[in-house]
Amino acid sequence: MTSKPAGDEILSRADSLLLEFLQTHDADCPLCGYNLKALTRPVCPECGQALVLTVGTTRLRLDLLLAALAPGFFSGIAAFFVFILIAVHLIMLGSTWTIIAAVDSFGWLSGIFAIILARKRAAFLAQPRANQWWWVAGIWATHIAALGGFIALGRML
């Protein structure tokens, strides 16, 4: 669907709505910050960036998603370095480090869980805040319990 031409361009309906909005509103170019009010073409006159009409959210709260992801990413990264130590141990001494390998597998599983959660972040963010809080509490409780278990295990060795 097209409407009024501006210069030699035929504008789409979305472009027309964008320009109509900018006739009466201040908005900064998302790239260079130039004030786009009273724009006549859907292009930033300052930096040349093509502009489109989009739908945004008023306040996308990512705090609980980040809180839910943090332990898994930390564990996953730690598991990677511990895995290197296990591999070196295996190569140098020719023996497996069974208990440490078991501890390391928790880190890998946690890291994989965090990656899955990051990929399904839209589903996480669509949940009510109370449910998100339960996820965060469950994930942190699991990691704190696991850490406590590993420390107790380390003292026994």
32 binds Zn ion (CB under 5 A): yes
Q: Give the chain's count of helices (H) and strands (E).
A: 5, 2
Helix (H, G, I), strand (E, B) or coil at 6: strand
**Contacts for 144 with CB less than 8 Å, ≥ 6 apart:** none
Q: How far is the CB of 114 from Zn ion (least distance, A)?
A: 36
Of the pair 36, 86, the CB lying nearest Zn ion is at 36
Work out the angle between the directed axes of helices 63-93 and 129-156 (0-180°, nearest 10): 30
Of the candidates 36, 43, 157, the residue with the CA atom closest to the CA atom of residue 100: 157
Expressed in angstroms, the distance from the first to the final Cα of the chain is 73
Q: What are phi and psi of 91, to 5 degrees?
A: -70, -45
At closest approach, how far in Å is the CB of 29 from Zn ion?
3
Residue for token pair 């895995």: 83
Residue (31 or 66) nearer to Zn ion, CB: 31
Q: Which residue number, 42 or 71, has a Cβ lying nearer to Zn ion? A: 42
Residue closer to Zn ion by CB (options 51, 79) is 51
Contact stretch for Zn ion (CB under 5 A) within 26-34, 80-88, 102-110, 131-139: 26-34
CB of 138 to Zn ion, least distance (A): 44
Residues in 34-73 at the binding interface with Zn ion, rule: CB under 5 A: 34, 44, 46-47, 49
85 near Zn ion (CB under 5 A): no
Binding site for Zn ion (CB under 5 A): 29, 31-32, 34, 44, 46-47, 49
